[in-house]
Chain A
Amino acid sequence: MCLAVPAKIIDRTEFMATVDSDGVTRQVSLMLLPDAAVGDYVLIHAGFAIQSIDEEEAKRTLELFKEIERYAADS
Chain B
Amino acid sequence: MRLTVEETGRAARFFADGIKRMASRPVRIMEVCGTHTVAIFRAGIRQLLPPEVELVSGPGCPVCVTPNEYIDTAIACSRCPDTVIATFGDMLRVPGSQSSLMAEKAQGADIRIVYSPLDSLRIARENPGKKVVFLAVGFETTAPTAAATVLQAEQQGLENFFVLSAHKLAPPALKAILAAPDSRIDGFLLPGHTAAISGLAPYRFVAEEHRVPAVVTGFEALDILQAIYLLLKQIAAGQPVLVNQYRRVVKSAGNPAAMRVLNQVYRPVDTVWRGFGVIAGSGLRLTAAYERYDAAAALPLVKAVSREPAGCRCGEVLRGLIVPAGCPHFGQSCTPEHPVGACMVSVEGACAAWYKYGQGRWHYE
Contact = CB atoms under 8 A, between A and B. Distances in A.
Closest 7 CB pairs of A and B: A47-B116, A57-B248, A58-B248, A72-B14, A32-B258, A2-B193, A2-B141
Interface of A: 1-4, 29, 31-35, 43, 45-48, 50-51, 53-55, 57-62, 65-66, 68-69, 71-73
B33 interface: yes
Interface stretch (B47-55, B143-151, B208-216, B318-326): B143-151
B10 interface: yes
Nearest to A34: B257
Given A58-B248, A61-B248, A65-B222, A48 B257 contact: no
B255 A31 contact: no
Contacts of B138: 1-2, 46
A47 B255 contact: no
B62 interface: yes
B14 A69 contact: yes
Chain A interface SS verdict (over half):
mixed
B115 A1 contact: no
A68 B17 CA distance: 12
B34 A2 contact: yes
Chain B interface SS verdict (over half):
helix
**Interface range on chain B (Cβ under 8 Å from partner):** 35 or more
Interface string B3-25: 10001101101110100000000
Nearest to B245: A61
Contacts of A73: 10
Q: Which of A2, A51, A62 is packed against the most chain B CB atoms within 10 Å? A: A2
A35 B197 CA distance: 15
Q: Which of B13, B63, B346 is packed against the most chain A CB atoms within 10 Å? A: B13
A26 to B, nearest CB: 10
B1 A32 contact: no
Contacts of B142: 1-2, 45-46
B100 interface: no
A21 to B, nearest CB: 13
Contacts of A3: 35, 193
Given A32-B255, A45-B142, A68 B248 contact: no
A45 B10 contact: no
Contact of A31 (B34, B115, B151): B151
A33 B249 CA distance: 13
Interface in B341-365: 346, 348
Interface in B102-161: 115-119, 137-139, 141-142, 144-145, 148, 151-152
A54 B249 contact: yes
Given A47-B116, A57-B248, A33 B13 contact: no
B234 interface: no
